[in-house]
Amino acid sequence: MKTFSKLKVFLIIFFIAIFTIIAARHFIGLHFKKKFSVRPAPGVIVEQVEKSLFYKSIETFGTAIAQNSKTYRIKESEISGKLNIENRFVKKGEVILRLKSGEEIIADFEGKLGKREIAQGVLGSESLIVTLDDLKKIVIDIKVPENYVSILKKGLRVDITSSAFKKIFKGEIETISSRIDPSTRSILSRVLVDNSSFEIIPGQLMTVKVIYDEINQIGVPESAVTIQGSTAFVYTVKNDTAEKKEIKIGKRNFGKVSVISGINEGDFVIAEGVSKVRNNAKIKIINPKN
């Protein structure tokens, strides 16, 4: 009987020990699972949705021409006094130079003077051409494909750039030809450019961008937009939580995409780190300080 009691106590102690080990392993497993399975919220950069100017454009090339120019052909031997021509600005009616004969060459308009030598034998070895260019306005003749005929109109805004300058010159469409060139299937248009700083020189090759279909609309960075098939969406942020929203997109300009519907001005969208985000997941905003 004593042996049976001892065996019974042993079995009870044994099963209690086994249960304790199993329970301990279970709770230790839960502890480590909780500690190591929970991932920290991904860091993202957000931007506020605001309105921007979006547009379409036609890009082409053209050569800069002075709005008004005139040339005077003379012989150096006929000039009275010192020749003062290059890089000189004159006003309308000002004397450009005087000749020994008593004749004066008068500026027909305000502009910049220059000179160009003439090849020997054309007007004599002492001949030269004096140029007068009105540089306050520059004209550029461009050829635009005929499929843009319905878009072109007088007054359209134009951006002009050149490899020589790190700036954009402003201009507008001044005139449009009444005929399409059948050999090139293009229409000739003239652009008038503001050159009040006198930086553009006649003869320069300029890149011309004709702006049309302008609209002021809310937009988001291209990096914020994810496209799956025919569907586009972004992640907005509220209370450090990402929310997936389907949007309808429009034009693209300068790294931004216009948004027709789906979000509102003032919303915050995830601009960088989108690939790490899931709908209704917590996020950590790490925008760089200005």
Question: Is residue 272 scored above 80 in pLDDT?
Answer: yes
Burial status of residue 112 (CB atoms within 10 A of its CB: 0-12, 13-18, 19 or more): buried
Per-residue pLDDT band for 22 (boundaries 50, 70, 90) equals: confident
Per-residue pLDDT band for 29 (boundaries 50, 70, 90) equals: low
What is the reported pLDDT for 123?
A: 46
What is the reported pLDDT for 262?
A: 92
Pick from 249, 181, 186: nearest CA to 218? 249
Q: Are 265 and 272 in contact (CB under 8 A)?
A: no
For 191-231, the pLDDT digits (tens) are 999 998 899 999 999 999 999 999 999 999 999 999 988 89
Per-residue pLDDT band for 58 (boundaries 50, 70, 90) equals: very high
* Alpha-carbon span 152 to 155, nearest angstrom: 9
* Alpha-carbon span 286 to 284, nearest angstrom: 6
Mean pLDDT across the stretch 39-57?
87
* Both tokens assigned to 119: 């090849």
How wide is the angle at C-alpha 275 spanned by C-alphas 257 and 217, nearest 5°?
A: 15
Domains of the chain: 43-54+216-285 (2.40.420.20), 57-62+137-215 (2.40.30.170), 69-134 (2.40.50)
What is the reported pLDDT for 2?
A: 54
* Alpha-carbon span 35 to 209, nearest angstrom: 58
* Strand segments (E) across the chain: 43-48, 50-75, 79-80, 89-90, 95-99, 104-106, 111-117, 127-145, 157-162, 165-181, 186-194, 205-221, 226-228, 231-238, 241-253, 256-261, 268-272, 284-285
Neighbouring CB atoms inside 10 A of 228's CB total: 8
For residues 233, 239, 240 and 246, what is the CA-based torsion angle, rounded to 10 degrees? 0
Beta bridge partners, 238, equal 241
How wide is the angle at C-alpha 225 spanned by C-alphas 219 and 231, nearest 5°?
A: 110
